[in-house]
A and B are shown apart, each in its own frame.
Chain A
Amino acid sequence: MEKLYIVCVDDQREVLASVVRDLNMFADWAVMEECESADEAEELMEDLAASDRPVALIVCDHIMPGMNGVDFLATLAADQRFPHLKKILLTGQATQKDTIEAVNKARIDYYLEKPWSAKELEDVVRLQLSHYLFDSGRFSMEYRALVTPSVLMERMQGRE
């Protein structure tokens, strides 16, 4: 079984560490990568794409110095190399305008507000990884314990 990649981006080191800590339960299936800016994440994505790694999910902060999260996710949404990549925006500043922009412009898959709860983050990440596995055709029974049961049922029955 090839491990999936989850890339976490937040300019605040302590926040980044907390996100990764909460995602550690997925360590059997995925490698967590941390980046402290969108620029750094962009570079990392290049490396991962070059070595053909399955980048499944990106969890990205919104307000950061340099490129902000929505703009960064928008560039990824337009990137042909990651057609199945799932995108979660993790934000402490959520106005309705921001949300609309994030959905329309960056086509994010989930919008999570700070402070987040470990359970919610876990559920969301599990769900997005599940969809990624089926969308990318990478699903195998080795991932079974990872996949959200309802998604497994739907996909096995060939329903969306």
Chain B
Amino acid sequence: MPDSTLLAPQMTPILDRVVSVYFSDPSQRLIIPKGGLLLNQDMENDRLYYVRSGSFTCTIRDEDDIGDELQIELFRAEKGSFVGVYSFFSGNPRSFIRATALEDAELSWIDRNIKAVDSEQYGTFRAQFLPVVLEELSKRQISLSHMARQQEVAQHRLHIAEKMSTLGELSAGLAHELNNAVGVMDRSSDHLRQVLSRLFKETAPALSSWFEEGVSTGQNFASDVVRKRAKELMARFSGLEYDKAKALARILGDREIDALPKKLDEAIFLWETGRACHDMRIAADHAANLVRSIKQLGGGGRERQNISVTDSVREALALLNSNLREVPVELDLDDSLPDIWGNKMELVQIWVNIIKNGWDAMKNARTADPRIRVAVGKHRRAIQVDLANTGPPINPVLLQKLFQPHITTKRGEMGLGLGLYIVKEIVDRYNGELHVASDEKETCFSVRLPLLQQKDDCL
């Protein structure tokens, strides 16, 4: 509805005078019950009405796609508005709208027989009513643009909802199929591993431990380390070829050996076969994890209720318990904060993603003094959660695109780069804000979730 502050304040005394002078005759009052008709479109009207209480919806006739008649709302006349302005002043005595009472309403009216009061001081009747007409028209215009804006917002939300539900359905279906496929590969490769293990124990008992080691550890050493170590091995064992030396370096890393295995080729072959089994299992795990993140993107229940943000943070910390054992977590939680209207799992997802990212960053950078800080507090009409870590500063270029999909810094982890994108997506759904500040001291993600009322619930 139009905001009264948008109207020129100096108009009020003029309007008050007009209302008290012209619309105070008790014999010219009218009660319209809820649903009752005050004006109909094209009906002759010679009255100007002032709404004392209640409200009207003012509509015009239109046809829908199949030719049925429907009423389109043009504006609403609330308490303090005038109805019949057009037919009263324009010279065309037919009402161009239908006015229907939305609730029991009381009106005062004047008709064309009215005479100007105090015309020496205030001018002709038309001059006295000009501000009334102007204000009424400007009110209607504001209300119209407000309605258009609301409609735009509604349309936008509908669009997002459609997109998300399609993505949700798609991802749920896709996840199911992918999980099946990954499951088959995982189980089958495990079966092959057992068969090979048995086979090698029988045919090459002296070397089968090389296979088992390949299975259990895979390649633990980076390619540059392997290249360096291979050269050392070649220097130490004359006659060792470069490709064999590299293969051995992959297995040994920095471990020393006194002598080369007698059957070096076979040993390498067995280890590499074992390593292939190891890699299949790793890949299957990664695939399963990715499917899980995709599912989070689109789906899950979105039902909301009043929940405590602090509780959701505790839940996230509990979920991350095993990851966080190695790092001190500094907590500043507040249980007296008001609830927000939200979905606990969505909030937990935000905290888990951000905290886990921070922990991974500190691990990868081998941060000397890894610490995590989580604080929950109130900031104006929002709950603010700060999640900080002492990891390396995020470079400004990356900071710019941190929340875009497929941005990852996690070397070799087959990450989808969706973690922070999911966070952004959820925070947006709450009309929340997301800030990152990163310097040498700490990297801090701040999430603000507005204290929405249930009826303000957005999609």
Chain A positions within 8 Å of B, measured between CB atoms, are 11-14, 16-18, 21, 27, 31-37, 40, 43-44, 63, 65, 93
- Contact partner of A31 (CB less than 8 A), chosen from B243, B276, B279, B408, is B243
User: How many B residues, CB 8 Å from partner?
Assistant: 22
Q: Complex: how many Å from CA A124 to CA B331?
A: 56
Nearest-CB residue, chain B, relative to A32: B243
B237 at the binding interface (Cβ < 8 Å):
no
- CB pair A12 B223 closer than 8 Å: no
- CB pair A35 B279 closer than 8 Å: no
- CB pair A40 B411 closer than 8 Å: no
- Kindly list chain B residues whose C-beta atoms are within 8 Å of the C-beta of A18: 279
- CB pair A65 B223 closer than 8 Å: no
- CB pair B409 A14 closer than 8 Å: no
- CB pair A14 B279 closer than 8 Å: yes
Check A27/B219 contact, CB under 8 A, given A17-B275, A65-B410.
no
Q: Complex: how many Å from CA A17 to CA B283?
A: 12
> Could you give 13 example pairs across A and B, Cβ below 8 Å?
A11-B411, A12-B412, A13-B412, A16-B223, A17-B275, A34-B226, A35-B223, A36-B411, A43-B224, A44-B227, A63-B406, A63-B408, A65-B411
- CB pair B279 A36 closer than 8 Å: no
B242 at the binding interface (Cβ < 8 Å):
yes
- Kindly list chain B residues whose C-beta atoms are within 8 Å of the C-beta of A31: 242-243
- CB pair B406 A12 closer than 8 Å: no
Q: Tell me the chain B residues, 409-449 only, with Cβ under 8 Å from chain A.
A: 409-412, 414
Q: Identify 16 new A-B residue pairs, CB closer than 8 A, beyond the known A34-B223, A36-B411.
A: A12-B414, A13-B222, A13-B223, A14-B218, A14-B279, A14-B283, A17-B219, A17-B276, A31-B243, A33-B227, A35-B224, A36-B412, A37-B411, A43-B224, A65-B408, A65-B411
- Kindly list chain A residues whose C-beta atoms are within 8 Å of the C-beta of B223: 13, 16, 34-36, 40
A interface, by DSSP: helix, strand, loop or mixed? Answer: mixed
- CB pair A36 B275 closer than 8 Å: no
CB distance from B191 to the nearest CB of A (A): 19
- CB pair A40 B406 closer than 8 Å: no
Q: Complex: how many Å from CA A44 to CA B223?
A: 11
Check A36/B222 contact, CB under 8 A, given A13-B412, A65-B409, A65-B411.
yes
Q: Complex: how many Å from CA A68 to CA B410?
A: 13
- Kindly list chain B residues whose C-beta atoms are within 8 Å of the C-beta of A27: 243
B282 at the binding interface (Cβ < 8 Å):
yes
- CB pair B224 A40 closer than 8 Å: yes
Q: Complex: how many Å from CA A36 to CA B222?
A: 7
Q: Complex: how many Å from CA A9 to CA B419?
A: 25
Nearest-CB residue, chain A, relative to B415: A65
- Kindly list chain A residues whose C-beta atoms are within 8 Å of the C-beta of B406: 63, 93
- Kindly list chain A residues whose C-beta atoms are within 8 Å of the C-beta of B276: 17, 21
Nearest-CB residue, chain A, relative to B408: A65
Q: Complex: how many Å from CA A36 to CA B279?
A: 16
Q: Complex: how many Å from CA A11 to CA B410?
A: 9
CB distance from B219 to the nearest CB of A (A): 6
Nearest-CB residue, chain A, relative to B220: A13
Task: List 8 A-B pairs, minimum CB-CB distance, nearest first.
Answer: A14-B279, A34-B223, A36-B223, A65-B409, A11-B412, A12-B412, A65-B411, A11-B411
CB distance from A114 to the nearest CB of B (A): 11
Q: Complex: how many Å from CA A21 to CA B279?
A: 13
- Kindly list chain A residues whose C-beta atoms are within 8 Å of the C-beta of B282: 14
- Kindly list chain B residues whose C-beta atoms are within 8 Å of the C-beta of A14: 218, 279, 282-283
Q: Can you list, as one digit per residue, whether each of B68-100 has a CB less than 8 Å from chain A (1) or not (0)? A: 000000000000000000000000000000000
Q: Which of A31, A34, A35 has the most CB of B within 10 A?
A: A34
CB distance from B3 to the nearest CB of A (A): 46
- Kindly list chain A residues whose C-beta atoms are within 8 Å of the C-beta of B219: 13, 17
